[in-house]
Amino acid sequence: MSLAHGETAVREAAPEVVRPKGVALAIESAPTLLLGLQRTVGNAAVCRFLARQPTPAQTPTATPVAKVGTVGGKRPAITETSKTFDDCNAAVAWINSGVYTGEAQPVYKPTAGKIRHKKLPDGTQQGEVDISWAYDPSSTAEVIVPTWADMTADEKAAVAKYKSALKAHEVMHFDVTDKVVKALPKTVKATGSDPLDATTNLQNEVNTYQSDAQTAIDTATTDYDTLTGHGATQSAVGGVDVHLACP
């Protein structure tokens, strides 16, 4: 992903959902059918979080209500890491070089309910499963905060403003992912000539669901970062532009 242009550049990459993997099929086991979903679509992560995956949920004992889980409002505490420079101008030069200055790692875990089968009027079998989503506490956010010796009150204020704007940009990545997850289909369906065939086709639909989730998250994040210039033009979404202005 291209870097922002302007006084500062916030380097990030689009959230990723790992591509689907093969899953063994079993009519009687919804968790077996959708284990790949829980392991591969559980991460909507930005930047260096792509290899990390949440622990699969335990086998559900009953079919959950067909709804998206609790994804709104919860956000992780933002970790601050200090980086020392000779002075304010050196800090600005470092930021403008396009280095990593912050990241958001949203994690939302999907849980599959019990597979349901029913015979349709035309004699075919339909298999369907409800999928609920929930914010996972392993989500993280981090920003790097510049500092230098003998900072004046005005310099401290400038850094504080920069840090606040950068944090707001990272937090909004969760808002963007939240919106995508809430809009995902709540139930996946497929038909077949018999229950096994319907279940096999349902797995294919789940794989498509994974791919669609990937695309939706990538597109929304790319649009957000393009609109905001990775934070440099955060005012485009009603925020404060991310930049460090030396007094």
The mean pLDDT of 49-71, rounded to a whole number, is: 33
What DSSP letter does each residue of the chain carry, written as one string?
Answer: -PPP-SS--------B-PPP------TT-HHHHTHHHHHHSSB-B-STTTT--PPPPPPPSSPPPSS--S-SS--PPEEEEEEEESSHHHHHHHHHTT---EEEE-BEEEEE---EEEE-TTS-EEEEEEEEEEE-TT-EEEEEEEEETT--HHHHHHHHHHHHHHHHHHHHHHHHHHHHHHHS-SEEEEEESSHHHHHHHHHHHHHHHHHHHHHHHHHHHHHHHHHHGGGTTGGGGTS--------
Provide mean pLDDT across the span 23-28. 28
Residue 244 lies in a domain: no
Is 94 part of any domain?
A: yes
Work out the average pLDDT over 85-96. 96
Does residue 141 form part of some domain?
yes
**Between 163 and 222, residue with greater pLDDT:** 163
Residue with more model confidence, 25 or 109? 109
Tokens of 33: 């059918």
100 domain residue, yes or no? yes
Kindly report the backbone phi and psi dihedral angles of residue 146, in degrees, each rounded to the nearest multiple of 5, phi listed first.
Answer: -75, 150
Instruction: Give me the pLDDT at residue 16, please.
Output: 34
Instruction: Specify the pLDDT at position 63.
Output: 33
Q: How confident is the model at residue 71 (pLDDT cuts 50, 70, 90)?
A: low
Is 139 part of any domain? yes
Predicted pLDDT at 202: 93
Q: Is residue 247 part of a domain?
A: no
pLDDT at 37: 54
pLDDT at 158 over 50: yes
Over residues 67-91, mean pLDDT: 82
- What percent of the chain shows pLDDT beyond 90? 47
The chain-wide mean pLDDT, for the chain, equals: 75
* pLDDT (0 to 100) of residue 127: 96
Q: Say what the pLDDT of residue 70 is.
A: 45
pLDDT in tens, 167-204: 999 999 999 998 998 898 889 999 999 999 999 999 89
Say how many domains are in the chain.
1
pLDDT band (50, 70, 90) for residue 117: very high
Residue 133 has pLDDT above 90, yes or no: no
In a domain, 36, yes or no: yes
Range(s) of the domain holding residue 89 = 30-237
Please report whether residue 6 resides in a domain. no
